Amino acid sequence: MTSAGPKCVLVKGDRARAKDLKELVSSLSEDESTTLLQHDMEAVMAALESGEAERAIVLDAGAVAQLPELLDDPRFRSLRVPMLALENGADGVPAPERAAAASLVDEDKDPVTGLPSRGPFLRMLQAALDRAENDTSYRFALLLLDLDRFKMVNESLGHELGDELLAEIAARLRGRLRSRDAIARLSGDEFSVIIEGVGEADEAMNVTERLHEALGEPFVVSRQEIFTAGSIGIALSQGRYSRAEPMLRDAETAMYRAKSRGAVCEVFAPEMRSRAFEALRLETDLRHALERGEFVLRYQPIVNLRTGQPLGFEALLRWEHPIRGTVSPATFIPLAEETGLIVPIGRWVVEEACRQLGQWRRGDPAAHELFVAVNLSRLQIREIGLAAEVEQALGSSGVPASKLKLEITESMLMQDSEETAATLHRLRELGVGMSLDDFGTGYSSLSCLHRIPIETLKIDRSFVSNIDQDRDSTEIVDTIVTLANRLGKRVIAEGIETTEQLDHLIDLGCWLGQGFLFAAPLAPEEAIRLGERARRRELEEAPAVL
């Protein structure tokens, strides 16, 4: 076939459903290809529209370059007829990886950026790998780009502007690539690119530089200037892979490595695999942990600072891993949030904490005074069903709503979405108490304290641990206590470890707290025993006090 302008084979009947495109093209008789060959893309559209052809195969690089435009043509979208592009390689062998790119119908496209989504991209990648297997001279590089801090942009600007920004980013990246290269949006803030004909690391780095530069200039969304950056992981085909997913995973591993080093990009090397596998294994294990019953709650007493008497407990999550032992929430909660697993895990925490308090209440009337505090994740308070789940947990455990306190952080309030505000108000209506955890470390504006029904401020441990050494911390604690008193809110000091800190807090008018000085987070039976001991002591000491 000679190449004089865009060329297209129009396919009818059974052949239109052929799977193997290479075979299909080579099976076309000389006659057939001449009759069906078209140079005029308008005529191709007309043939598809009229049903004369059921499918079109583009055979020329020039025409392939026109495809992105064509895909945006509303006529093409309404056709929903797969159009396949088989760009002719120098040796006349069609490049089947281009095929999937142009065969996109609407549901394969990411509606925000118009780029292919994960599914079609994996098919393109697989086609490129299949080609590389048959043709050892064919090489390509796979790039995975993850935007930095995009979640924060989304949370502060709102999703609509976030989407606008993504569309701008996609257009800018596309503009820095050659038409032969494929780009897709894989997930929220992740883009992936196939760079054709690149076999060496330094060539791939050059492209990466170009993309990085493209992101370096500010974006203007709704008249706001936004600066963004990203980290890029590179995997080179070089005959190493036969399947798309492992190659993408290696590019992802390299991307994470780049991110952790604060580098623009990293090329995948096999040594990176072990660490990546470790993280992957942790994620897989976490997915199973709930069904295997590997989570437990520990209870840290929240005490009256003058008497040491526990008034309630903060429920703190632990993962009893069969091999790793006890895993701290600092290790697995970020992962659980990233994967969305925090939502079912958090649901379990609420249920289990209520169930435990219900059991204590049934065993001892004195436990009726105790409350239990549960930490919520930012993902949970966005869930519409949260209030109903809490109501259900209270109902089945028999715990009154006033004995459950939910701890949220300031950054959650800054999400400021309507769902969040509605959920918090529904919880308040139930009669559940709300506490602001780690107070003083976030960025909440004081107006939040009015808008959101918060009854308790928890002073972050960082201020408490410095209270006896550093004037600033003392001032901050003093200010928080005064603020809370003025607003009619309770204050709980976190992380009290020494008697000096305790004395200071009492001097500043803080009456409630928790910390290792009183007790670490305890197993349920130890926690309740400690409560009983403290009560007995109080009874014994009572006459003396009176």
| Min CB(104)–ligand C2E separation in Å | 39
| Min CB(451)–ligand C2E separation in Å | 22
Instruction: Check binding of 521 to ligand C2E (CB under 6 A).
Output: yes
Among 495, 513, 524, 531, binds ligand C2E (CB under 6 A): 495
> Which listed range, 79-87, 283-291, 323-331, 402-410, lies at the site for Mg ion (CB under 5 A)?
402-410
Instruction: Check binding of 456 to Mg ion (CB under 5 A).
Output: no
Supply the Cα-derived Rg of the chain in whole angstroms.
Answer: 31
Q: CA dihedral in degrees (380, 381, 382, 383; nearest 10)?
A: 60
Among 407, 412, 436, 512, binds Mg ion (CB under 5 A): 407
**What is the rounded CA–CA span in Å between residue 104 and residue 98?**
11
| Min CB(306)–Mg ion separation in Å | 22
| Min CB(438)–Mg ion separation in Å | 4
Instruction: Check binding of 49 to ligand C2E (CB under 6 A).
Output: no
Instruction: Check binding of 437 to Mg ion (CB under 5 A).
Output: yes
Strand order in the sheet with 8-11: 37-38, 8-11, 55-58, 83-85
- By CB under 6 A, the residues from 201 to 240 that bind ligand C2E are none
Residue with tokens 């309507």: 418
| Min CB(501)–ligand C2E separation in Å | 9
Residue 372's Cβ-count burial label (10 Å; 0-12, 13-18, 19+) is buried
Among 117, 154, 377, 423, binds ligand C2E (CB under 6 A): 377
300's contact among ligand C2E, Mg ion, none, with CB below 5 to 8 A by partner kind, is ligand C2E
Q: Enumerate residues 6+ apart whose C-beta is below 8 A from 409.
A: 378, 436, 437, 438, 442
The answer to whether the beta carbons of residues 273 and 250 sit under 8 Å apart is yes
Among 6, 96, 233, 346, binds ligand C2E (CB under 6 A): 346
The answer to whether the beta carbons of residues 276 and 248 sit under 8 Å apart is no
> Which listed range, 157-165, 202-210, 248-256, 371-379, lies at the site for ligand C2E (CB under 6 A)?
371-379
Helix axes of 329-339 and 342-363: crossing angle, nearest 10 degrees: 130
SS3 of residue 234 by DSSP: strand
| Min CB(437)–Mg ion separation in Å | 4
Instruction: Check binding of 329 to ligand C2E (CB under 6 A).
Output: yes
Rank residues 441 and 474 by Cβ distance to ligand C2E and give the closer one: 441
Instruction: Check binding of 476 to ligand C2E (CB under 6 A).
Output: no
| Binding residues for ligand C2E (CB under 6 A) | 300, 316-317, 328-330, 333, 346, 349, 375-377, 407, 437-438, 461, 494-497, 514-516, 521
